[in-house]
Structure 1
Amino acid sequence: MDILTASKLIEKRELSPVDLVKKTLEKISEENPKNNSFITVSGEEALVAAKVLEQELMKGKVRGALHGIPIAIKDLIFTKNIRTTMGSKVYENFIPDTDATVIQKLKDAGAIIIGKTNTHEFAYGPIGDRSYFGACRNPHNLEKISGGSSSGSAAAVAAGMVGGALGTDTGGSIRVPSAACGVVGMKPTFGLVSKKGVFDLGYTLDHVGPITTNVKDNALLLNSLVGYDPGDPYSLNTERKDYSLLIGNELRGKVIGIPSFYFDVIDEEVHAAVTKCIKIFESLHVEIKKLNINCMERIAEAQVVTIQSEAAAVHMHTIENHKEDVDSEVYERLVASQEVKGYEYVLSQIERAQLINEYNQSFEDVDILLAPTLPILPTDIGQREVQINDQKEAVRHALLRLTSPTNYTGNPSLSIPCGMSKNTLPIGLQLISKHGNEAVLYQFGYALEQNI
């Protein structure tokens, strides 16, 4: 059941929060052994919260559309008195004594924390098969990756265990698993959603955002998360908006840009699915314009330098003291990240404002950019090399190639399902716009969702 459907039933008192939590726990018990989406299920805590919210409902108090709705949380986001592991043996028994800002916002809105979802260890990987608690499997094909690092959040939504979940995104970690699992994932504008109480990977790249079954639910969940937080040094102090405001508005006269960078090396089935979506937008009287964004290679290189430098800084203690406790592949990547020179990081930050400005010049003539979310279909668990047409590429690099640029620039990016492969694996489409333009992305995403 999607969030808005459940919300309406709860408001009419046709569905109780307690019953919904019980049904959710039953569904998790049924599905989780198959795909390993959840690390920790907080059933007792969820039932206690549901009873309180049900009493409020009986007294006529409804906190909003999330009142009584179970939400899953990536196990990188601190939850008071609920284990938060970062997918690592290092934090296997860590229990925070405070909630992250986004968790407090969800609770204030009436949402119920149902459990903590699997993540590629420390969120340092887009594949989702390197967690101390085991690989997260794709609900569409259990031999395939779910994508990462917000693997469990996307898989839990795709498997129907929850209607919504939170993920984090440093190089694509909301959008990659959303595309791989066939759900909707939003990486908002950098700083729009507080990162306070979220375990760091890249200080200037990390984003928190919603994963849901559909566009309307995604906008609803984002609305509950945004807001200035003085506890987050990167938090934006901007006017609050209703990000669902443009959903349903017609697109006639709008312009979509098709940047060549995102289409250079992609799987044929992915290309066919994305091309079909472009034609759908044309049928909605949207103008399609091909673009060259000349700074894309420099942005991609600067993003790699940034994430490596910042991850190495975050994990100095991990590298020095926990070699035996960290997955070997993740540990090797952390050690390799230390090889970035200080001057390289400084240069990547000095040129950042200019590169962001060059990237945003693309929007002078178009409303949004359209691109595949992933250039490939979900690969086998454990697979580390993939062939795209006649070229071989590392799976990790392929998964991040089309998503990581907007982590560096901070532009909002929405991944939505746009088709299935001949082997019934999901394909995702990525919509990108100017900073603060999430409502426009939802407008386009909803139009496609209704016509695909």
Structure 2
Amino acid sequence: MNKELLEKTVTELAELIKTRKVSPVEVTENLLEYIDHINPKTNAYISITADTALKSARKAETEITAGNYKGVFHGVPIALKDNIYFGKELTTMASKIHGDFIPEHDATVTAKLREAGAIFTGKLNMHEYAWGADNNNPHFGAVHNPWNPEKIPGGSSGGSGAAVASHSTYSSLGTDTAGSIRIPSASCGTVGLKPTHGRVSKYGVYPLAWTLDHVGPIAKSVADAAAMLSTISGFDINDPTSANVPAHDYLSGMNGNVKGLRIGINEDYFFKDVDSRVEKIVRDRIADLEKMGAVIKPVSIPTLRHAQWIVLATGLPEASTIHHRNLQTRPNDFGADIRLLFEIGELFSGVDYLQAQQARRQLKIEFVKALSEVDVIITPTIPLIPPTIGVDTVDINGNTGSYIENSIRFTGPSNLTGLPALSVPAGIAEGMPVGLQIIGRAFDEARILNVGMAIELMKPLGNHRPILSP
């Protein structure tokens, strides 16, 4: 097993494949051998598709040898969250109810990656139906955080976060309804990008809450996240929420230069009730950006004080609508935690939902105003250090609170507004990675990726590495 090869980023690996220093078959065989070794420890994969992966690797090798190199993902093995459809292949949503579901078609993002020459090694574990943040799945087992196997990896895309962090995939896609890309990224020390709503098609991705759902990359580096976004973004007539906005090459032009960048800080919400160790790390990185020439400016977003209620009054009823029939006919086939959430979702009235949408509109207006005064807003991604698997509470500076409510507190607003948000590693606390969130203007992913690169160049994780890694 070649450990050095496993630890390559996608962009590093792509150069080796392009120049034929390594072959897609060699890379895929090496990764599959490692998956067999590491997955019993992380439980990141629900299914491993070794035979089809090797077949795709041989095809990619033939194409590249013939001079038909397609780009960054050609010949690169990756795995996707198990609510993203693969045509004619099992897609379970990590549930019992869809335990034997085989979609007829690829999701649009799957098709784009397939067309780009990516090799799929399997489907990744997740919180059942993407409705939770601890990934302690009753049907497929808990996912273990590679930094500390006793800790949760965050969710709902916990398998994606754990697989990327443990190097059992070179990159991945997650879905994000209230933070489900960024929470596992913060918890597992990876880069997670929730793009602008409409930037990436959701066609062929099983929904959680229609107006809040997003699809985006979980990656080893900011450059890898940029490469993934370039590959999967673009208008899709099959998705009614898709925005007809040109896609970009997000890799070009990224240099980490933040001189003159205006960074907004909202103290009243995004720095309230934050674990002191997390807060110090995030503030230290902001200070580092200021030393690089960025300008710090306070911003006011008053409606944030209602954000958690707006997320719940929107997401719970939408999710319960999607699962209403199964909740009526086979409630015991849901895990107990999400069954309760679906039941609560049916208690909201039409008035509750519509009032939430009015407050949501006001929140959008206030974010647009704030982002007219600054270029980005920086926050902690999550205000806590991940708890132990099976523990649904968290201690923040001596105060005990709900893990799930606190985990989505700083990520949920970007789902309500649809604005792009990036989580990058910012440091280490108690042996666990800490995430920093960068929120930007609509369709301004290039800017937040560049800020993320500036932080990445600081090497905030130092020589720390996950326990479960090559």
The one of 230, 234, 237 equivalent to 1:223 is 230
Aligned letter for 1:140? Answer: W
Encode CA deviations 1:165-186: one digit per residue, 9 max, x unaligned.
0000000000000000000000
| SS of corresponding position for 1:208 | strand
Deviation per CA, 1:61-119: give whole Å up to 9, x if none: 01111100111100010111221111111111212121000000001111111110001
Q: Give the counterpart letter for 2:156 in structure 1.
A: S
Are 1:314 and 2:310 an aligned pair?
A: no
Counterpart of 1:103?
Answer: 110
The corresponding residue for 1:116 is: 123
**Number of corresponding residues:** 451
Out of 245, 248, 252, the residue aligned to residue 241 of structure 1 is: 248
Q: CA deviation at 1:131?
A: 4.3
Show CA shifts across 1:348-404 (max 9, x none).
224433321112111122110000001000101011112211322101101111101
Q: 1:326 aligns with which of 323, 328, 334?
A: 334
Aligned residues: percent identity?
A: 39
Q: Deviations over 1:183-238 (max 9, x none)?
A: 00000000110000000100000000001111001100110000101100100011
* Corresponding position of 1:155: 162
CA contact (8 A) 2:80 2:123 kept: yes
Alpha carbons of structure 1 residues 214 and 249: separation in structure 2 relative to 1, 3 Å: closer
Q: Which residue of 2 is the match for residue 10 of structure 1?
A: 17
Query: Structure 1: how far apart are the matches of 2:72 and 2:296?
Result: 36
Q: What residue is the counterpart of 1:268 in the other structure?
A: 276
Work out the CA distance in 2 between the residues paired with 1:68 and 1:322: 42
Q: How far has the Cα of 1:346 moved from its partner?
A: 1.9
The offset of 1:278, in angstroms, is: 1.0
Q: Look up the match of 2:405.
A: 397
In structure 1, the partner of 2:195 is: 188
Structure 2 residue 50 is the aligned partner of structure 1 residue 49: no
Give distance in 2, aligned partners of 1:275 and 1:351.
Answer: 30
2:431 paired residue number: 424
- 3-state secondary structure, aligned to 2:305: helix
Q: Supply the AA of the counterpart residue of 1:91.
A: H
- The C-alpha deviation readout for 1:7-45, integer Å capped at 9, x for no partner, is 001101111111111111111111110010000111111
Q: Is the CA contact 1:118–1:152 (under 8 Å) kept in the aligned structure 2?
A: yes
Tell me what 1:386 maps to: 394
CA contact (8 A) 1:258 1:288 kept: yes
Tell me the amino acid that sits aligned with residue 223 of structure 1.
Answer: S
More displaced, 347-356 or 10-19?
347-356
In the other structure, the counterpart of 1:347 is 355
SS at match of 2:217: strand
The CA distance in 2 between the partners of 1:205 and 1:277, in whole Å, is: 29
Equivalent position SS for 1:393: strand
Aligned partner of residue 453 in structure 2, secondary structure: helix
Following superposition, the deviation at residue 325 of structure 1 comes to 1.3
**Structure 2: 5+ residue runs without aligned partners?**
1-7, 461-470
1:403-442 equivalences under 5 Å are 403-421=411-429, 423-442=430-449
Larger displacement relative to structure 2 (347-356 or 294-303)? 347-356
d(CA) in 2 for partners of 1:345, 1:365: 31
Deviation string 1:96-148 (CA, Å, 9 cap, x unpaired) is 12100000000111111111000100000011113410011100111000000
Between 295-304 and 6-15, report the one with greater CA deviation. Answer: 295-304
For residue 106 of structure 2, what is the amino acid of its counterpart? D
Residue of structure 1 equivalent to 2:3: none
Structure 1: runs of 5 or more not aligned: none
C-alpha distance in 2, partners of 1:335/1:130?
19
Q: Does residue 167 of the first structure (1) align with residue 174 of the second (2)?
A: yes
> Does residue 178 in structure 1 map to residue 185 in structure 2?
yes
- For 2:153, the aligned partner's letter is S
- What one-letter code is carried by the residue in structure 2 that aligns with 1:362? A
SS in 1 for 2:141: coil
Distance 2:138 2:16 in 1: 37
Give SS of 1:137's match. coil
Q: CA deviation at 1:342?
A: 1.1
TM-score (norm 2): 0.94
Counterparts of 2:231 and 2:309, CA distance in 1: 34
Matched to 2:320, the amino acid is: A
- RMSD of aligned alpha carbons: 1.1
After TM superposition, the score normalised by the length of structure 1 is 0.98
